[in-house]
Amino acid sequence: MRRFSPLLLSGLLLSLSASACSTTPPETIRTAPTADAPPAIPVESGAAVMQASGRFPETFEQGGKGAYSEGDEQLGSGSWHFTEALIGSSDQDHKRGEHAARLRTRGRLRMNFDAPSGVRTIRISSAAYGQDAASIWELWGSVDGGRTFRRIGSPVQAKGPRLLTTTFQGTTPGPLRLEIRKTDSGSGRLNIDDIELETGSGAAVAGGVASVPAPTPAPRPSTSAPKPSTSQAPNQAPSLDNDNLGLGNPSGATANVSMSTNYLLVKPQFTIGYNALRGTPTWVSWHLTRTDIGSAPRQDDFRPDPALPREFYQVTRNSYSGSGFDKGHNCPSADRTRELDDNSATFLMTNMIPQAGNNNQRTWSSLEEWTRGQVQRGQEVYIIMGSYGKGGTGTAGFKTTIDNGHVTVPARVWKVLVILPEGSNDIQRIAAGQARLLAVDTPNDQTVSPDWSQYRTSIDAIEAATGLDLLSKIPLAAQDRLEAQVDTAPTR
């Protein structure tokens, strides 16, 4: 088990101020100050927010990102990664100055650089965008160059149009990297402004340039080795209800370019363990509820994934041309129809495999529709899908690879479904036997039966074939019991 700095282990003292509006410098009020804590420092407003490049506070005045699409943005403090977030400048953005960050759905803002050692006080201002409903956000920190993050302090509610300042206080002996996460599932949007980092002396902390984490070996699951003694893999955040990675990281994938066969891609819509040598995902994991299903039309905008490192081969929509195989979704288009951006994300080529037409359009389509039917009847579903082996048969015959060998055709396509009534404490309910578990493993060929139920198997069998650990966040005793089962309940 990886050990974290005292800052992240012990947490930081949290207070949420009752600040004045943006024309008056608000105060920050600590509810439980320590004896040696630095004094509260008013957050500057108006023209005073303009800072020299490369220093905090981060005011978002130097950024120009105007779309929610995922990407990096160079700000005054350094490079930041935006997920479901942009820099807003409208009258509805609550801000000091001309700009503030705006996050929607489960948006994130992450530093691509480390603040130097000695950070003791962190202040972040937030408000609800426009007249939107309240949002919940959390501050997470990394002391290992962004490889792993742990939550700092408690969740924060941003309610109403007034910017309120939250103060986090503690100590960090080494470099610190921060990520702000909007964690509620509501439709309200969130404004973030004026991120301050200070040392124990009260001095502002300088920013920095983007840094690349040092390579670390990713865990390699083995069918002969025992499962980890903890239900949480070492390179993932703690389990949260409705998290796309709620059942665990099946391969211990990490966002490390040296791990080209086990690269982690985290998106608001799903999470991927990607194999760049095969040109396909090893697995894709997502959570499905009624709120994910809306009226957004199918986008059909198949395209390379811009989040894939430049060192990796980029699969395009033309990679499948003339191959005799469908561009088969892992996370289906129809599972993400709440908003256009959600549906569009499913057409990234990192979410595709070369899939036999009959398998994709009949067998798999039927399974996907059945799953959404369960959701419409009040269930929520944790889903992991993947493929393994080499060689399948499409309309142009048997092939092992396409795109001049850059994309491997899998021999088998599998899926695990964990279905339970909508509710909370999902891991506990699953472990207590309150969920229905289905594992399906089909051949990737044209002769596959449309009846997916005849391909049901055990999770143990899929783990043995793939080397993955598919329910790693479930307590071990429950894993042993649940993974051995083969579902036989009605599917009609």
DSSP letter (8 states) at residue 205: P
Mean pLDDT of the chain, nearest integer: 82
Exposure on the CB side of residue 310, measured as CA atoms within 13 A: 0
Exposure on the CB side of residue 356, measured as CA atoms within 13 A: 28
User: Residue 287 catalytic?
Assistant: no
* Tokens representing residue 420 in the block: 């339970």
Q: Which residue has the tokens 């690349």?
A: 212
| Model confidence at 226: pLDDT above 90 | no
What residues does CATH 3.40.570.10 cover in the chain?
Answer: 263-484
What is the per-residue pLDDT for 242? 87
Percent of the chain with pLDDT over 90: 67
| Model confidence at 206: pLDDT above 70 | no
What is the per-residue pLDDT for 116? 82
Mean pLDDT over 200-227 rounds to 41
CB-count burial class (<10 Å; 0-12, 13-18, 19+) for 249: buried
Percent of the chain with pLDDT over 70: 80
Q: Considering the entire predicted model, what is its pTM? A: 0.56
Secondary structure of residue 371 in the 3-state scheme: helix
pLDDT band at 240 (very low <50, low <70, confident <90, very high): low
The beta strand positions in 59-118, using DSSP E, are 71-74, 79-88, 100-111
Active-site choice (81, 94, 287, 329): 329
- Binding site membership for Mg(2+): which residues? 360
* b/e sequence 183-210, b meaning 16+ C-beta within 10 Å: bbeeebbbbbbbbbbbbeeeeebebbee
- Over 281-340, what HEC string results? EEEEEEEECHHHCCCCCCCCCCECCCCCCCCCCCCCHHHHCCCCCEEEECCCHHHCCCCH
pLDDT band at 191 (very low <50, low <70, confident <90, very high): very high
| Model confidence at 166: pLDDT above 60 | yes
What residues does CATH 2.60.120.260 cover in the chain?
Answer: 71-203
Contacts of 106 (CB under 8 A, 6+ apart): 84, 181, 182, 183, 185, 268
In this structure, what are the phi and psi dihedrals at residue 478, rounded to the nearest 5 degrees? -70, -35
Q: Which stretch of DSSP H or E encloses residue 257?
A: none
Q: Which residue has the tokens 């256009």?
A: 340
CATH class of 263-484: alpha beta
In this structure, what are the phi and psi dihedrals at residue 50, rounded to the nearest 5 degrees? -75, 120
CB-count burial class (<10 Å; 0-12, 13-18, 19+) for 144: middle
Mean pLDDT over 77-81 rounds to 93
pLDDT band at 139 (very low <50, low <70, confident <90, very high): very high
Q: What is the pLDDT of residues 253-296, one digit of tens each?
A: 999 899 999 999 999 999 999 999 999 999 999 999 999 999 99
Contacts of 298 (CB under 8 A, 6+ apart): 333, 334, 343
Instruction: Characterize the bridge pairing of strands 280-288 and 71-74.
Output: unpaired
Mean pLDDT over 202-214 rounds to 44
pLDDT band at 212 (very low <50, low <70, confident <90, very high): very low
Q: Which residue has the tokens 């990297």?
A: 177
- Binding site membership: which residues? 360
What is the per-residue pLDDT for 154? 85
| Model confidence at 104: pLDDT above 90 | yes
| Model confidence at 7: pLDDT above 50 | no
Decide if domain 71-203 falls under CATH 1.10.580.10.
Answer: no
| Model confidence at 124: pLDDT above 70 | yes
